[in-house]
Amino acid sequence: MSFISYGCHPRQIVKKYHIPKLSNAIIIFIHGGAWRDPNNTCNDTDEMVNQLKSFGDCPGEENAVENFYSIDYRLSPEWKFPSYIIDVLFAVIKIKRHLESKAGDLNKFKFYLAGHSVGALLTLQFLDFAEVLKKWWNCSSEPSSVLDSILETIDGVEKKFQLSDLVEYFTKNLAAPISSPQAIMLDGIYNLEDLVCEYSSAYEAFVLEAHESRMEYLESTHFSFMDPSSRDFTSHKILVIQSTKDELLSPRQTENLLKAFDADNIGYEYIIDDFGAHNNVYVNKDVTKIIYNFIKNQ
């Protein structure tokens, strides 16, 4: 295993792993930690990778390139939204370029974007990044200066971006197949307004710590406020997992997300069971086996 850097900040790195014979799958994982926990890093996936290696081989020839990537990103309170999703987008571009240099044509691969907790929210935001950034731009008090600050640490970005520039850049550099990954979401946060409603001030503190204002998180950061016409999820297969023993997030977040999926006729596979406490879910061997079978059966 080794690392890819996509910026000059110490957390702007991606850890890459090689899992022999994982069919044609490329897995990209985004850790959680409420945008702020320094103990959650790209090393969170070490155990999951070891478990995937132990399950035997998916059908297909041995994959010679690294096929599991774990993204780290900048944290609050020093950095605010949308730095997290922008970091993820630039990290995925760097992964794409790395794979192209090693394997050439990426159409032979099937991509999976996975996330735990706020990493699951970032996964959802990735699938709809243009609309997410548009909502943020429209409600931010100083979007141009905030964006300039965010982009200062990104490799290879020299000019000042406006919103249209940024969306065009991501759209151009995240072309299919990497722009349309299958999604895997573990015990996620999906609706910040409802999260604060359920848990009140105890959770609003860390949500506000990660956003410039209450208006910003209300208007720009969760699926149910997005314009349905902006999404085309027909090419995505979505796996949603929730632990009944999660002490930090009840099933309410997940259940409300699935209601939004149902309303938009978006297909998904949902598995809820005892997968342990919140921070045990992504190291739970049963969860990894579910992910393995989800990939194997594609």
Q: What digits encode the pLDDT tens for the residues 141-152?
A: 888 888 888 988
Q: Is 196 helix (H, G, I), strand (E, B) or coil?
A: helix
Q: Any idea which residue has 């790195």 for tokens?
A: 13
Residue with tokens 């604060």: 196
CA atoms within 13 A on the CB side of 7: 27
25 CB-near residues (< 8 Å, 6+ apart)? 58, 63, 67, 109, 110, 111, 112, 295, 298
**Interatomic CA distance for residues 2 and 139, integer angstroms:** 39
Residue-wise pLDDT tens digits, 204-241: 999 999 998 888 888 766 565 555 555 566 667 899 99
* 43-100 pLDDT per residue, tens: 999 999 999 999 866 555 556 689 999 999 999 999 999 999 999 999 999 999 999 9
Matching residue, tokens 């987008």:
89
Tokens of 286: 């049963």
Task: Please provide the size of the chain in residues.
Answer: 298
Tell me the domain boundaries of the chain: 2-296
C-alpha 36/C-alpha 282 separation (Å) is 18
What single DSSP character describes residue 24? T
30 in Cβ contact with 119 (< 8 Å): yes
The tokens for 204 are 């609003």
Q: Which CATH number fits domain 2-296: 3.10.400.10, 2.60.120.620, 3.40.50.10420, 3.40.50.1820?
A: 3.40.50.1820
Q: Helix 118-127 crosses helix 129-139 at what angle (to 10 degrees)?
A: 100
Instruction: Dump pLDDT digits (tens) for 98-150.
Output: 999 988 889 889 999 999 999 999 999 998 898 889 888 888 888 888 888 89
